[in-house]
Structure 1
Amino acid sequence: MTEDQAIPAPAGVSGRPLPVLYSFRRCPYAMRARLALTASRQDCVLHEVVLRDKPAEMIALSPKGTVPVLHLPDGQVLEQSLDIMRWTLARHDPDGWLSPETGSVAEMEALIAACDGTFKHHLDRYKYAVRYGPETDPLHHRGEGAVFLRRLNEHLTDQAHLFGSRPSLADYAIFPFVRQLANTGREWFDAQPLAELQTWLSGHLNSEIFQEIMRRKANEKRD
């Protein structure tokens, strides 16, 4: 987007422009962005998008047409959830999400990449099998997705979170997708021998920050 095409960002109470986040409440990618923005105490204007009628200004900023999209006051547009997380946490990371207690940053990033790659591939074909044609077997893809669940469960065997006793970027980037799979077949998920993972997921779903990002904001705009 050229400078003369940029859509100006609205100003906050202080008069300084605020970032604008285009989001959809139940989208796990958008959950990631809202979690990180909340953790970093970053004020923004939240636009809750109706996916069947996406706002023209969002499409102008990001023709890919998917959420989240963060429009920064300087005109920069962040179109990927992890880019939004890293941007806001690089500015302020009070809980040390970018500094895992155990393991390395590279290991944390690799686990997130596995979630976004192979696991997401199977999750989509389990949850949305009809989109991929009659030859798609959702139970097969559920079983393949369970391989990643077992990997997460192993991480949690001796620690409360994926990289130590406190949550890191990996926990917040991954749990929205585990939530999505669990909600697709809750009876199946609850019956799996994944006690540590189930406890971990329950803890995140009941956490104050997750409850906060799932509430409507006073400055939220509904498109």
Structure 2
Amino acid sequence: MQSRPILWTFRRCPFAMRARLAIHASGVQVDLREILLRDKPAAFLATSPKGTVPVIDTGGRVIAESRDIMLWALNQHDPEDWLAMTQDGHDLIDHCDGPFKSALDHTKYAVRYPDLDLVTERDKALDFLRDLDARLRGSAYLFGPQARMADMAILPFVRQFAHIDMDWFAAQDMPDLARWLEDFKSSHRFAAVMRKYPPWQNGQDQVLFA
């Protein structure tokens, strides 16, 4: 019988990143199993039939959506009040996971979408980023001086978009967004959740996280 929840993850996946961020902030202890998406172990596929990360096995429940994993962790312990935000915060996450993520994919993987115009798709993503930049004007985070769930659910995807073409991104005149992203990337928490682990293998000791 497992002693702790098991979190299957892939280091660079922004969905997995947001789950690890919330677990780290909550202090809830889980056993982390890093996988390679090109070589998914059978034990992982038995837990996640879709073959997607993150997924967590709590011992009595399997949670296969990153946002639900964030809520699972924070509803147990939320010492930094990440859940203390209005419905507007959840709406921003909805937009991130919907239209923005779609435009991000169409930009990052443009070769897969020959029928779509790269500039048009990039501009769709940029509209959301400019809205975030305006919200961050004069504020450390989206909803004031403290980070909330919305910040940490969205930042991994902003990072992914920025890294498509960092020179282009830096030239877009979004100073507050750029500062918000840089503060995130230079934070101790980001370093903690981005630590490299070897891919899990059957019989391998698990890595205790958070």
* TM-score in terms of structure 1 length: 0.87
Contact 1:40 1:93 survives alignment (8 Å): yes
Tell me which stretches of 4 or more aligned residues in structure 1 moved more than 6 Å: none
1:25-174 correspondence runs (5 A) = 25-74=11-60, 76-100=61-85, 104=86, 106-132=87-113, 134-174=114-154
Query: Are the structure 2 counterparts of residues 46 and 221 from structure 1 closer, same or farther at C-alpha, using a change threshold of 3 Å?
Result: farther
| Distance of 2:67 and 2:37 partners within structure 1 | 21
SS state at 2:15 partner: helix
Contact 1:46 1:221 survives alignment (8 Å): no
Query: Among 174, 195, 217, which residue is 2:175 paired with?
Result: 195
SS state at 2:121 partner: helix
What residue ranges of structure 1 are gaps of 5+ in the alignment?
A: 1-7, 10-16
| Distance of 1:143 and 1:136 partners within structure 2 | 12
| Distance of 2:160 and 2:196 partners within structure 1 | 20
How many aligned residue pairs are there?
A: 201
| Distance of 2:190 and 2:101 partners within structure 1 | 21
| Distance of 1:44 and 1:87 partners within structure 2 | 12
| Distance of 1:109 and 1:145 partners within structure 2 | 18
Contact 2:36 2:199 survives alignment (8 Å): no
Greater RCO (Cα-Cα under 8 Å, separation 6 or more): 2
Contact 2:47 2:62 survives alignment (8 Å): yes
**Superposition deviation, residue 184 in structure 1:** 0.2
SS state at 1:151 partner: helix
- Deviation track 1:112-158 (CA, whole Å, cap 9, x = no partner) reads 101001000100000011222x2232222111100000010111012
SS state at 2:43 partner: helix
* Identity, % of aligned positions: 46
| Distance of 2:161 and 2:118 partners within structure 1 | 12
| Distance of 2:112 and 2:27 partners within structure 1 | 38
Query: Among 147, 155, 160, which residue is 1:175 paired with?
Result: 155
What residue ranges of structure 2 are gaps of 5+ in the alignment?
A: 202-210
Paired position in structure 1 for 2:204? none
| Distance of 2:194 and 2:19 partners within structure 1 | 12
Contact 1:33 1:81 survives alignment (8 Å): yes
